[in-house]
Chain A
Amino acid sequence: MESFEKRIFGGSRFGVSGAIWLGIAAFLAISLTVEFQWNVVEKWIGSYLDWHNDQRSKIGTAWESFDQTVHAVGKVDTLVGEMRDRESEVESINSIADVPNMLSPRGGIAVSKADFLRLFRGLSSYLWEEWIPAKDLMRMTQREDWSRCYLWWDGGKLDIYMVDQSNEVLFRRTIPGDWLEIVGMSGKRQSGVLEETGEFRRRVYPADRLWQVLDTLDDDVVKQLLSSPGLKEAESLHRIGISNIVVAGLGVVGLEFTTPTGFSVERVVIHDDDLWDLGNLLDRGVVPEPWSEPY
């Protein structure tokens, strides 16, 4: 029967002597011992894989979790950053009417009691009395448990929560966004004449008319008109315009000033019924009929 060796190597031509076989066997035994003792093959494979480490992707559960963590922590940091920005932005705004722009499209911010009062008093009491009557605001101001105020803008309305230390809401109001938007126009100035602004095109009067009817106007309206920065600084009033747009119970009066460089228009916001009265007075230049309940 042909030997295993012969069958593999095809006869004695490739045969090797017994001593060499012993050597091979010894080498194999040593190799096995070395492998079992020093893990040579594992180390080779390990080294090879480590050599290619940077070429492989960051995959697997730990990397996924790592990515999620990095993403989540980054998102949290962004949220905190946005809040910090808003907090510093609060210091730079002067009126509650500017809050929606700051929180748009949706969001909230906690402000100190002092900051809230500053923002709210940035509007004249003639306007905010409608939402927080002066006596309520006074009562709240006196409360020591009122610690701060949370402003939340969402869905076109601003929620105001005055809260104590334990987040109990002491006073709450919701102010419509369109009201804030129109109030936000108050005191804003742009160069040009009244006719260039569509809303005043139809009802523009010379400034004299206003001076003629001023005494017949309600005191609050007069105060509101005189609170215009232009009139306060005794700039030269050229003409007055009545807006044809009334939103959220408010309307706009346009004051056109003569300036060294031309003309500029400033807006003053008043209640729509006062706007109606003022318009009538300017039209007719006479005292309006006393208002009475319609039958």
Chain B
Amino acid sequence: MTIKIIRTVALLAILLGCAFGVIAGIVVLSVESQLPQLPEQLEEIAMSPPTEIYGIDGSILTVLGGRQQVPLSRISPYFQNAVVAAEDKNFWKHGGLDKMALLRAMYRNLRKFRVVQGGSTITQQLAKNMFFSLKQDWHRKIKDMLMALQIERRFSKEEILEAYCNQSYFGARAFGVEAAAQTYFSKHADRLTLAEASLLAGLPNSPSRYNPYVNPDEAKARQRFVLSRMVVQQMITQEESDSAFNDSLVFRPMYRGMQRGSYFVDYVLRQLEGELGRDVTYHGGLKIYTTLNLRYQRAAEEAVAQGIKDLDDWTGDAKKDSMLDEDKIQAALVSIDPGTGAIVAMVGGRNYEQSEYNRAVSTRRLPGSGFKPFLYLAATDSRGFTPKSVFVDSAVVFDIRGSKPWRPENFDGRYHGPMVLKEAFAFSINIVAAKLIYRVGPEAVVEAAHKLGIKSRLDPNLSLALGTSPVAPLEMASAFGTIANGGTYYEPLSILRVEDRTGNILMEHFFSGTRVYDPETLYPLLDMMKAVVDRGTAWTIRRLGFNAPAAGKTGSTNDYKDAWFTGFTPNLSTSVWVGYDQKREIRDTMRRGITGGRGAAPIWARYMTQVTEGQPSRDFPIPKGIRFELVDVRTGKSPNSATADTVQVALRDEETKLP
């Protein structure tokens, strides 16, 4: 009976063995040609010089690609053990495949008839990371296995572990344990403690899920798992495990800083791709020196985050649990140094991780009244109007050939009677703007806008006065910067220079300005724009405590789909846009529309307050040939006993001499 059983088992084993041998042979022969060649050295083909992007103060913004290879002797033994315990407890024994783990995985996968469990060894993972896509299928799995077998034959276990540690992705753009140790703990890989090593060793399995900044609880649970495996493997004692788990980890605060400016980094890379090509940009080992000021960028991100939080509360989006973040309100901010055109801060949306679409540059939205400065400039430049010219705010209809008559309306739906242009500008009176463009001509407005720095195509029609041609925040900041600096247009600039890995300069950009207006031509407009901030539609800026001399213009479309504020000090021009990607109306829970003054100006104020903190405030220089005059708001003449309200206007000398 025993012999019979032995005979049967032996026969089955022979048959299974033969079948396995034949199948294995067929598989090896049929897949062999699809397998990649192995290099002489594992790190040989993983060498990729990093592309480093720097801010204007020399601080590093981000590093793309590149792997910091370190020998095993410079990797903490804690980390080596933690990796082996977490990923492949039989690493030191197997020949590339962990047969028991594989049989377990095969059993589970066959039951489900799909790949649900890997059973991959470190060598297989290395093969997968190096040569294959992340797609889970049987075909790829077989290739991983075969490559793992060859890797084991060609390289020592130490070389394999070293390559694995240097190749793995740990999240936060950190490839390799050295980069991970630097990124998360600001130390070298050989200095990692047990607590740090066990946390890092858990990351390659799912870098985003176990990201300690985003999901600290999940990261901690993963660390607990790794430590427990190390205890089981008798690499550490239970006491050491508990102690390491309870250690409070000190993460590198700069990590968040490295994520800053991602919209800006994208913007820079896109420009470089256009000039140098994609390969050179990402794999050429470039050092890219940019204009971004990290302190300003932090302030911009914080201001936008706070502004969005307020808007979510006002609109009620914060309470809509079913609403996806990307469907919620968006904001963009871009800030330029008017003296050079350098872009010092850029935020392209509420969350780069959720939407990489850069609304500061790529989106073109209706500027609403934010466009009026170009109209007022065209009017005061050469059409004979001055800030004290009087217009009557009353109902008006414009007949437009081939179109319906145009009946502009004020934002508040009321009429305010006669008033000087400065007053109409400060309170953004649409009807006065409509009457003004009718007198000035839309072509002159288009010309003024283009001269100041607007690049978008503008339709020369009357409604242009109310901002019906879409523009991007970057254009607005740039154009207003030209007003801020007294009439010199600087092309917005983000890249200062590009060097190769040994410091040779490949490309340089210059701060090059072109004078487009005289300071005395612009100053009357600038003075009107100061009134917007001091007492007009953007008075909330003063309410929020920003007291330095500033000028700007709010912008809100009639249907409340876009809210803007673009403003400047002598040193900084900043544009803020707020709106939904889906072009929905921005209304609070009481159904009141949210204007630029309420939605965008507070973001601007918070940003500017933070970046100008501690700096002496400087007023705009008054050019020669400018004089001030106190006039009656209603008549534009010198005040008299009948005057109810006065306003001080800035006039060019020749204007004051006019009758």
Contact = CB atoms under 8 A, between A and B. Distances in A.
A46 B511 contact: no
B46 A172 contact: no
B153 A60 contact: no
B10 A25 contact: yes
Contacts of A18: 3, 6-7
Given A41-B24, A59-B36, A169-B512, A4 B283 contact: no
Interface string B278-302: 0110111110000000000000000
B254 interface: no
Contact of B510 (A41, A45, A75, A161): A161
Contact of B154 (A36, A50, A66): A50
B280 A75 contact: yes
A56 B35 contact: yes
Given A56-B33, A75-B277, A75-B280, A24 B3 contact: no
A61 B134 CA distance: 10
B150 interface: yes
A252 interface: no
Interface string B149-163: 111111000000000
A13 interface: no
Given A75-B284, A76-B506, A168 B340 contact: yes
B11 interface: yes
A59 B504 CA distance: 32
Contacts of B33: 56
A114 interface: no
Is chain A's interface secondary structure helix, strand, loop, or mixed overall? helix
A167 B510 contact: yes
Given A46-B96, A68-B283, A110 B3 contact: no
A175 interface: no
Contact of B99 (A22, A36, A68, A168): A36
B14 interface: yes
B354 interface: no
Of listed A21, A62, A110, residue having the most chain B CB within 10 A: A62
Contact of A75 (B45, B96, B279): B279
Contacts of A110: 505, 508
Contact of B94 (A39, A69, A161): A39
Contacts of B282: 68, 72
A227 to B, nearest CB: 34
A212 interface: no
Contacts of A5: 7-8, 11
A77 B153 CA distance: 37
B49 interface: yes
Nearest to A71: B279
B500 interface: yes
Contacts of B48: 65-66, 69
A161 B36 contact: no
A74 to B, nearest CB: 9
Contact of A4 (B11, B149, B513): B11
A103 B135 CA distance: 48
Nearest to B496: A167
Given A21-B6, A36-B99, A72-B282, A49 B508 contact: no
A63 B11 contact: no
Contacts of B151: 46
B457 interface: no
Contacts of A68: 279, 282-283
Contact of B131 (A3, A8, A61, A75): A61
B47 interface: yes
Contacts of B28: 45, 48-49
Contacts of B26: none
A43 B283 contact: no
Contacts of A69: 47-49, 283
Nearest to A42: B95
Nearest to B94: A39
13 contacts: A4-B7, A5-B11, A39-B96, A42-B95, A42-B149, A45-B28, A46-B154, A49-B32, A49-B147, A53-B154, A56-B35, A56-B37, A72-B279
Given A49-B147, A161-B512, 5 more contacts: A4-B7, A21-B10, A54-B37, A59-B36, A76-B506
